[in-house]
Amino acid sequence: MEKQKKQDIRLLSKDALKDYFVEKGDKAFRAKQVYEWIWKKSATDFDQMTNLSLSTRELLKENFVINAVEIDDSQFSKDGTIKNAFRLHDNRICEGVLIPVETRMTACISSQVGCSLACEFCATGKLKRMRNIEASEIYDQVRIIRDQALEHNGQPLSNIVYMGMGEPLLNYKNVLESIEKITSEEGLGMSPKRITVSTAGVAKMIEKLADDNVKFNLALSLHAANDEKRNKIMGINETNNLESLAKSLKYFYEKTQTRVTYEYIIFDKFNDELQDAHELYEFCKHIPCKVNIIEYNPIDGAEFKQASVAKVDAFKDYLEERGVVINIRRSRGKDIDAACGQLANKK
């Protein structure tokens, strides 16, 4: 209980840290030192802050904690993917995945414990949303997966995708703050162009991203370019239909000039016909975009199946012939339930 009485020092801004040290009769530059230890050097313990005097470290220990995220469990796929169950300071669990491929090391991270959107094809959607994940806890997921990439693959982390548990745009403040800490020169110094935030489609928050002039990439989980079909699999479409999404995406592109990615899982006998490809093509006309066709990963209690190879190829060919940029994303980590849509705190 003692731990919870003390404030997590990572909730303080640099200015608030300055005020704290001045109030204690110390030098204002201590704030810069501590801030650097926390965000640039990823310290998880005050004793790691070796350029601070012992008395300063003791003072910090008396007043603050660092609620660092810890690995509760890691599972290793035969394809090199690592799925982590992360234990947060209140014992909640979220998941994050290291996805290693030849050309890049990608961290797939979570923004909420559980999810409130309940998309029919997603295991996370079967969980209720417990809480938003704090900016420092999102940062910690990146820190841990970065270290795993170096330890297991000898390569630095190259990409971050906010595609794990939760809807990032429903945890807007913490997600943007975490990206600031990850990309800042005072933090991990990663390029925002290496970060993609994936949303199920919250139109007004997509417009807010545009107003905030974000520099990272945006992906929309589309999966059907037809309101009737999208309503069946994604309840959020009833309040954020394709027309409102198209309007918000145009606004986003006009403000940021950033090409948007549409994610499209092709389900057998649901959205795998050429008519579906045509509807997607029409939606792609709104703004410069690319499409990721994603292999469906079966989950417990869902009736969907992966579309046949022939259907996927015909779908892809239809769009490519009309100039749409298409990638087919093969799933990784399926054997440990680490693939897209499978994160549900299962061991």
Task: Enumerate the active-site residues.
Answer: 95, 340
Radius of gyration of the chain from its Cα atoms, rounded to whole angstroms: 21
Give the burial class of 132: count Cβ atoms within 10 A of its Cβ; 0-12 exposed, 13-18 middle, 19 or more buried: buried
Name, in order, each residue with C-beta under 8 angstroms of 114's C-beta and a sequence gap of 6 or more: 124, 127, 128, 129, 130, 165, 166
Q: How far apart are CA 118 and CA 136, in angstroms?
A: 26
Q: How far apart are CA 86 and CA 69, in angstroms?
A: 6
Is 183 within 8 Å of 196 (Cβ atoms)? no
Residue written as tokens 């910090």?
Answer: 60
Name, in order, each residue with C-beta under 8 angstroms of 309's C-beta and a sequence gap of 6 or more: none
Q: Is 163 helix (H, G, I), strand (E, B) or coil?
A: coil
Is 320 within 8 Å of 298 (Cβ atoms)? no
Name, in order, each residue with C-beta under 8 angstroms of 271's C-beta and a sequence gap of 6 or more: 223, 224, 226, 229, 264
Residues of 190-211 as b/e, b for ≥16 C-beta within 10 angstroms?
Answer: bebebbbbbbbbbbebbbbbbe
Structure tokens at 49: 């802050």
